[in-house]
Amino acid sequence: MSETGAMTTKRNPLEYVTEALNELRAKGVAPKLRVLEGEQKPVCVFDGREVINLASNNYLGLTSDKRLRKASIEAVRKLGVGAGAVRTIAGTMKLHMDLEEQIAKFKNVEACVVFQSGFTANAGTVSAVLGKEDLIISDELNHASIIDGARLSKATIKVFKHKDVADCERILQEHASFPGKKLIITDGVFSMDGDIAPLPELCDLAEKYGCIMMVDDAHASGVLGRGGRGTVDHHQCHGRVHIQVGTLSKAIGSMGGYVCGSRDLIDFLYLRARPFLFSTSHPPATAAACAAAFALLDSPDGEKLVKKLWANTKFFKRELKKRGFQFKTSETPIVPIHVGDGAKAYEFSRKLFEAGVFAPAVAYPTVAEGKARLRAMVSAAHKREHLLKAANILAEVAKPLGIA
């Protein structure tokens, strides 16, 4: 028997992937990717069907804003399409430094570092600041990028019950004689329930027990606080949070993440945050779009947009409540509609889509088993008529499924 003959009869070493996939498909929990034709807008075409879009994180409608678009195009004309290297070699353009300074001013902190994404900002920062002799105390519903960063750091990880300050303190008491550094970390706004972290109380604990305080403001950037300055501003916790992470990929409308803190923290991250050291920096178009977004947020027009987002949120929730929906946890434009069973949540989402509303189902592993839901997101760019129509369609589709 020749060697090639032996190869052809060998079992495909990736066959288990096919088996796992078939299992997910059989259970009805393997949705296909929806494909957007055209721009990310409040009403747009996915998979050839025009739908009211309640699925995107484009809170302020900035993905298609003409000011950001213009800034991007000018940057491409002047500076080309790529940075050509990682930040620590030759990929730091003046545009990057200016953006960091602009964000630091906006957030009223000493300094800022921009990462390629919110994910890398979290993962890179937690793993750079903490090591295996340290302790991370983390809300059970924190984002995957925090969890991955915590794992990468090799620190001891203790998880407190969602938003449960007493449970967080219990862990701190149990580790009173822990010799290493301690970090309390929480999302500012939780992406699946739309609720807001008890930041002032967590800051109290951080101060009482000598911990580093870190907040991931991905869903609060451009949403909470004056002009979207985030949860620290919303709660008046200025100066009490050592590390603030934000994203440029949601309300800011483009892509990226950032970390705000002391000058020394940022200078240290320049030297030790692995995604900063080992992955290429933003192309000029992206950095320029983000700069234009912060210039907008820092102006009366930006504040108006944030207000519009909240007015739309109130309106939509009121209309949904009138139709019998409940979403007790939500305090933000994220509106989770509880379904429970994963396959049923996917069915709900699919039928809504056929009826002209796009809101994704979220199931395991994004949320716990049995806690599947539909997640609807409101933006400043929605018109009242879109939201009203969406509420009607949601009610019509939910009834026969026994959801609302």
- Hey, which residues are catalytic here? 191, 219, 250
Binding test (CB under 6 A) with ligand PLP, winner from 40, 63, 117, 281: 117
Min dist. Cβ of residue 165 to ligand PLP (A): 19
Contact 202, 40 (CB under 8 A): no
Q: Does 193 help bind ligand PLP (rule: CB under 6 A)?
A: no
Question: In this complex, which beta carbon is closest to ligand PLP, that of residue 168 or of residue 393?
Answer: 168
Which uninterrupted H or E stretch holds 301?
helix 300-322
Give the separation between CA 221 and CA 229, rounded to whole angstroms: 6
Contact 134, 156 (CB under 8 A): yes
Question: In this complex, which beta carbon is closest to ligand PLP, that of residue 169 or of residue 216?
Answer: 216
Q: Does 96 help bind ligand PLP (rule: CB under 6 A)?
A: no
Binding test (CB under 6 A) with ligand PLP, winner from 53, 63, 127, 145: 145
Q: Does 53 help bind ligand PLP (rule: CB under 6 A)?
A: no
Give the separation between CA 397 and CA 352, rounded to whole angstroms: 6
DSSP character at residue 278: H
CB-count burial class (<10 Å; 0-12, 13-18, 19+) for 254:
buried
Q: Does 163 help bind ligand PLP (rule: CB under 6 A)?
A: no
Question: In this complex, which beta carbon is closest to ligand PLP, that of residue 124 or of residue 227?
Answer: 124
Closest CA to 76 of 250, 253, 289: 289
Binding test (CB under 6 A) with ligand PLP, winner from 42, 54, 56, 118: 118
Give, in order, the Cα–Cα distances in Å from 201 to each of 178, 184, 219, 236, 336. Answer: 22, 11, 20, 12, 25
Chain centre distance of CA 281: 20
Strand order in the sheet with 334-340: 334-340, 372-377, 361-362
* Adjacent-strand bridge partners of 49: 46
Give the separation between CA 93 and CA 245, rounded to whole angstroms: 22
Min dist. Cβ of residue 404 to ligand PLP (A): 26
Q: Does 143 help bind ligand PLP (rule: CB under 6 A)?
A: yes
Q: Does 187 help bind ligand PLP (rule: CB under 6 A)?
A: yes
- Beta strands 257-261 and 334-340 are unpaired
Binding test (CB under 6 A) with ligand PLP, winner from 122, 329, 332, 379: 122
Q: Does 257 help bind ligand PLP (rule: CB under 6 A)?
A: yes
Strand order in the sheet with 156-160: 111-115, 257-261, 243-247, 212-216, 182-187, 135-139, 156-160
| Block residue for tokens 């990880």 | 157
Per-residue contact flags (x/-) with ligand PLP for residues 236 to 255, judged by CB under 6 A: -----------x-x------
Min dist. Cβ of residue 329 to ligand PLP (A): 15
Q: Does 219 help bind ligand PLP (rule: CB under 6 A)?
A: yes
* The one segment of 47-55, 64-72, 116-124, 337-345 that binds ligand PLP by CB under 6 A: 116-124
Min dist. Cβ of residue 96 to ligand PLP (A): 16
Min dist. Cβ of residue 141 to ligand PLP (A): 9
Min dist. Cβ of residue 53 to ligand PLP (A): 17
Min dist. Cβ of residue 160 to ligand PLP (A): 17
Give the separation between CA 396 and CA 404, rounded to whole angstroms: 9
Contact 128, 264 (CB under 8 A): no
* The one segment of 38-46, 75-83, 101-109, 212-220 that binds ligand PLP by CB under 6 A: 212-220
Residues in 17-46 that interact with ligand PLP by CB under 6 A: none
Which residue's C-beta sits nearest to ligand PLP?
118
Q: Does 218 help bind ligand PLP (rule: CB under 6 A)?
A: yes
Binding test (CB under 6 A) with ligand PLP, winner from 125, 138, 186, 191: 191
Query: Which parts of this chain interact with ligand PLP (CB under 6 A)?
Result: 117-119, 122, 143, 145, 187, 191, 216, 218-219, 247, 249, 257
